Amino acid sequence: LFAGPVEFLKGVVAMDGLPPADRVEVCFAGRSNVGKSSLINALTGRKSLARASNTPGRTQEINYFTAGDSHYIVDLPGYGYAEAPPAVVARWQALLRAYLAGRQTLRRAFVLIDMRHGIKKADEEILSLLDKSAVTFQIVMTKADKVKAADQARILEQVRVALQKHPAAYPEIVVTSSEKGIGIPTLRAIIAGMA
């Protein structure tokens, strides 16, 4: 695990609010309700760590967590909310673009995909943005406990095919269930291994 506890640091609404770029940084992105908070909580071994990022007012912030003294874990707001006003969406997209293009220490983005649904249009948009920003991304399938093994194989194949057109895609896909603890140690090892 990380050498030290994982703590909420701050929510960031503008580029000048980013903490010093002095650690290995990974970020988590995904559609609203994909299971991002549950995954971050499972990953960090804390029950309610990512709850802060789901409280109203926090949902459009880039939420920073410190993991030991070596890593930042960054929780990006969930996307795909049809209800969000256009002005809010535009402001958020501008911040996201600036962050992805400008954060030198960002090593990898984990993009969460619900194993029941596969890659949707809103996901494709962020994958294209990651390509353009040259940020390596790795797909993390969530809620694997809700999908039968045969269906998992089919969905994974679909995702692999979809990744072929994304130059920034990391080839390995991580299958997880926060509920059952599946894939969590793998994901933790991937992050902790980034020195």
Interacting residues toward ligand GDP by CB under 6 A: 30, 32-38, 54, 78, 142-143, 145-146, 177-179
All residues at 6 or more sequence positions from 145 whose CB lies less than 8 Å from its CB, including other chains: 177, 179, 180, 182
> Containing H/E element for 43?
helix 36-44
- Written as six digits, the tokens of 123 are 């996901």
Identify the bridge partners of residue 120 per DSSP, sorted by sequence position.
none
Instruction: Work out the number of other CB atoms within 10 angstroms of the CB of residue 146.
Output: 13
- Residue number, 34 or 73, with CB nearest to ligand GDP: 34
**Please, what is the minimum distance in Å from the beta carbon of residue 34 to ligand GDP?**
4
**Please, what is the minimum distance in Å from the beta carbon of residue 111 to ligand GDP?**
12
105 exposed, middle or buried (CB, 10 Å; 0-12, 13-18, 19+)? middle
**Please, what is the minimum distance in Å from the beta carbon of residue 79 to ligand GDP?**
10
- Residue number, 55 or 104, with CB nearest to ligand GDP: 55
**Please, what is the minimum distance in Å from the beta carbon of residue 186 to ligand GDP?**
14
**Please, what is the minimum distance in Å from the beta carbon of residue 20 to ligand GDP?**
27
Integer Cα distance of 67 and 80 in angstroms: 28
- Residue number, 11 or 30, with CB nearest to ligand GDP: 30
- Residue number, 32 or 93, with CB nearest to ligand GDP: 32
- Residue number, 40 or 135, with CB nearest to ligand GDP: 40
- Give the dihedral sign, CA 38/158/167/186: positive
Do residues 160 and 152 lie in contact, with contact meaning Cβ atoms separated by under 8 Å?
A: no
> Containing H/E element for 129?
helix 121-133
